[in-house]
């Protein structure tokens, strides 16, 4: 298969940030009198900003969803300011794949943080399209953000390859009809049923080569 385009997730694929989101949200919940639950981390993976900020209110946190979203995003920006934790091989993978195919980002991160990460990595010009789940009706595992990315690229989703790390992300990409490649997140490993949706699995972004994509 020679795809028309490749669509990358951001958190957990290009930047090692899923645990940072978790730490920032946990601190906010503790500071504001809420109570973290065993299900909270997995539940919010892939949610859009409006979705996870509403979810935080169910944990007994003081504040409106809009206020909580601003606080968490500001906390993430503070974490990124001294250092953006890019994953090993991520920049090389983006560079190699963009030499052959148009690229997009389809992520749950808000637009401002997308820009911070891509600029820090020096690959902003490698992506023709970036889509945040804030811009669509539903976050992952719904396919909306992937369908929007394909639409903006002018590509048939079935002719796109999606790169994902989390259970909800894998399900979203598969629901969009894309060929899925998994880079499983070691902090929050996706379950077997989600991994089974992937055509190929690589341990790190460094495994995302032109040869792998062509071999799909």
CA distances 56 to 21, 87, 116, Å, are 13, 28, 24
Instruction: Name the active-site residue from 11, 16, 144, 165.
Output: 11
**CA–CA dist 102, 157 (Å, integer):** 13
Annotated catalytic residue, options 2, 9, 144, 156? 9
Buried b (16+ CB within 10 A) or exposed e, 163-174: bbbbbbbbbbbb
Q: Per the structure block, which two tokens stand in for 42?
A: 């997995």
Helices first, then strands: H and E counts in the chain: 10, 6
Which residue is associated with the tokens 């401002």? 112
**Is 193 marked active-site?**
no
Do residues 9 and 149 make contact, with C-beta atoms less than 8 angstroms apart? no
Active site residue 11: yes
Catalytic residues: 9, 11
């Amino acid at each position: 298969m020679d795809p028309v385009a490749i669509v990358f997730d951001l958190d957990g694929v290009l930047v090692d940030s899923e645990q940072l989101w978790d730490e920032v949200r946990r601190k906010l919940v503790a500071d504001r009198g809420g109570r973290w639950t065993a299900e909270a981390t997995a539940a919010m993976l892939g949610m859009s900003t409006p979705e996870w900020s509403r979810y935080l209110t169910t944990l007994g946190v003081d504040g409106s969803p809009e206020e909580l979203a601003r606080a968490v995003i500001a906390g993430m920006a503070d974490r990124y300011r001294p250092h953006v934790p890019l994953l090993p091989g991520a920049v090389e993978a983006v560079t190699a794949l963009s030499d052959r195919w148009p690229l997009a980002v389809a992520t749950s991160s808000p637009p401002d943080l997308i820009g911070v990460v891509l600029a820090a990595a020096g690959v902003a010009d490698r992506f023709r399209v970036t889509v945040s789940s804030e811009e669509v009706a539903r976050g992952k595992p719904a396919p909306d953000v992937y369908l929007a990315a394909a639409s903006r690229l002018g590509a048939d989703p079935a002719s796109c390859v999606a790169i994902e790390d989390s259970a909800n992300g894998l399900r979203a990409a598969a629901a969009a009809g894309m060929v899925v490649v998994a880079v499983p997140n070691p902090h929050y490993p996706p379950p077997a049923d989600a991994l089974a949706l992937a055509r190929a699995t690589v341990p790190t972004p460094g495994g995302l080569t032109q040869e792998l994509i062509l071999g799909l």
